[in-house]
Chain A
Amino acid sequence: MDDFMAKVTTSATMLLTGFTVVFSVLLLLILIIYVYGTIMYKLQNRDKTKKDKKQPQTEEKPVTKMPAVQAAPVASNDEIPGEIVAVIAAAVDSMYGDASGKVRIKNIKKSGGRSPWANAGVLDNTRPF
């Protein structure tokens, strides 16, 4: 009985100590990181707004006029260049062609949000299992 009570005491002490210390230390870290994160964020925003305010002043007095650069033609959603379509089709075929027979690509359009590189990174990180 004494042995049982000793075990209960040890267990309860460990559970209470562990729970309290781990949570206290990590909560303290949350607080500190939150505070310095907020300070940093505000400082950076202040610097940014200062820069933004300064920017127009420097632009007002250009030394020489630069020749206008023509904007590169931007492909609209419906005007993706043929080479790009061919590359995408080849990539899709190499991924799915063998498994499901012939693949027909009906539509290719740009998706918003995540960049292709970010998507590739996410795919790479989630594929192995």
Chain B
Amino acid sequence: MTIRPDRRTEPTQLRPFSSSQNLLNRCDGSAQFQFDKTAVLVSITGPTEVKFRDEKLDRASLEVIVRPLTGLSSTKERVLESVMRSTFANVILTGLHPRTSIQIVAQVMKDDGCVSVGVIAVCLLVVCGVRYDKLDNSSAKSLTSIAYFGLHQVQSAAINATTMALLDAGIPMNALVGSVTCMVGKEDGEILMDPTMEELSRARSIHTFAFDSASRTSVMMDENGGKGTSGGVVLYSESTGDFTEDEYFGCMSLCQQATHKVHGFVRTAVEKKIEREYQQITGS
């Protein structure tokens, strides 16, 4: 098995992830989730007063704001906002807090350079008087495509951070949401989980999935010959690049298994937090 650039041996191995909870004290809940070099901090405020035009009579209205690492927010952030809004609208029990607003604010804290590398590459090409569309060199083109591939990592981290922040805020949910990213390699069609920037330059397509944690058997699993895992339902799926149907479902099943690990990690993190809180009561 070839060793991956960051010394991982298995294609299905994820990079180490870490998280922190309850970081901010002016909001109702907050958490930061980090996939190696990509980190997103999410704060939750709610249920609070809602603007009249956003008021819904029978449920809370979800408001999502995403801020990029650098610069002003643009259409990319709007896409991520609508992704998160639709994903979490299925999970948060908004019917328990009608005519209120739950505000989710996500700030990208660390980005493993995908976006900035792409921007710098385009700028250098422009300075040298070279037009992008006249390039024959495919690696130069791939540098800029990494810019778009890198967004997937931010989406995964943002979804995981939002789950942990919602747990911290005590907003009622019907399941956890976990998200991972994987890619399909250009030469061999090999599926790699949680790719690094180097691996992304050799990607033909990249996929992000979000699954919920409720343990019911997923109907989709039957098409893959049943890996035997009773997993969650797909809440979100985004793919960029060229891929076949088999590759897509292969990625989905691998991501589902990897998402189990993310859910397990969230569970461990919450247990540790509760343990520490109880220590203050019973121990001291």
Chains A and B are bound partners: no
